[in-house]
């Protein structure tokens, strides 16, 4: 009689433990919201219709990449994060949801982005000046970069998208073209 309650209790406890463990071991992370993820899908379709490869630099637990894989299954998707724990969680979710995504435990400044057609970034603002230089040096012509909330200091976006009209700066997207 009490079994369903016990199962529920354990599930809530496990979820809490995973969430707490993530924030203790990897630092606080915020995911790109569903409304913003759908806008990213539209941007990729419009500005990079022939894209084959999508990189999420700082993928956390893979929430964004899993949605993109669902909406654009033909893309080869890579998620990079410097938190081992988050990469383990992302890989586990991808296996459970049967979504083939490459999750890699690595510092984003150590990878080469030359093969990326689309790069997505939702990172602390202080990393963006250094990332701007790296991306401009390495990306192939025609590649696009989408940043969430933060923007590059010098590179001019080709378009911007407000995803929450009541809070314009919140999860605003900036789209850049390597030309």
**Which residues form the interface with ligand SAM (CB under 6 A)?**
26, 29-32, 56, 58-60, 63-64, 80-83, 86, 107-109, 122-123, 148
Residue nearest to ligand SAM (CB): 58
Cα separation of 71 and 75, whole Å? Answer: 9
- Indicate the residue among 5 and 72 with the shorter CB distance to ligand SAM: 72
127: left (phi over 0), alpha (psi -120 to 50) or beta: alpha
- Indicate the residue among 81 and 117 with the shorter CB distance to ligand SAM: 81
In the complex, minimum distance from the CB of residue 130 to ligand SAM, in angstroms, rounded to a whole number: 9
Orientation of helix 84-96 relative to helix 63-71, angle to 10°: 30
Cα separation of 39 and 161, whole Å? Answer: 8
In the complex, minimum distance from the CB of residue 57 to ligand SAM, in angstroms, rounded to a whole number: 7
In the complex, minimum distance from the CB of residue 32 to ligand SAM, in angstroms, rounded to a whole number: 3
Sign of CA dihedral 128, 101, 92, 105: negative
In the complex, minimum distance from the CB of residue 46 to ligand SAM, in angstroms, rounded to a whole number: 20
């Amino acid at each position: 009689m009490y079994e369903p309650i016990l199962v529920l209790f354990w599930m809530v406890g496990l979820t809490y433990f995973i969430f707490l463990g993530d924030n203790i071991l990897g630092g606080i992370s915020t995911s790109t919201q569903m409304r913003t993820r759908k806008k990213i899908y539209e941007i990729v379709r419009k500005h990079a219709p022939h894209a084959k490869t999508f990189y999420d630099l700082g993928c956390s637990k893979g929430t964004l990449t899993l949605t993109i894989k669902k909406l654009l299954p033909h893309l080869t998707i890579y998620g990079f994060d410097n938190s081992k724990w988050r990469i383990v969680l992302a890989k586990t979710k991808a296996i459970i949801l049967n979504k083939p995504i490459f999750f890699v435990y690595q510092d984003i400044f150590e990878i080469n982005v030359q093969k990326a057609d689309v790069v997505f970034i939702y990172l602390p603002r202080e990393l963006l000046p250094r990332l701007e230089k790296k991306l401009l040096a390495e990306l192939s012509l025609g590649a696009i970069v989408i940043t969430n909330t933060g923007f590059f200091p010098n590179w001019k976006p080709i378009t911007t998208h407000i995803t929450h009209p009541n809070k314009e700066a919140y999860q605003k997207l900036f789209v850049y073209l390597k030309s």
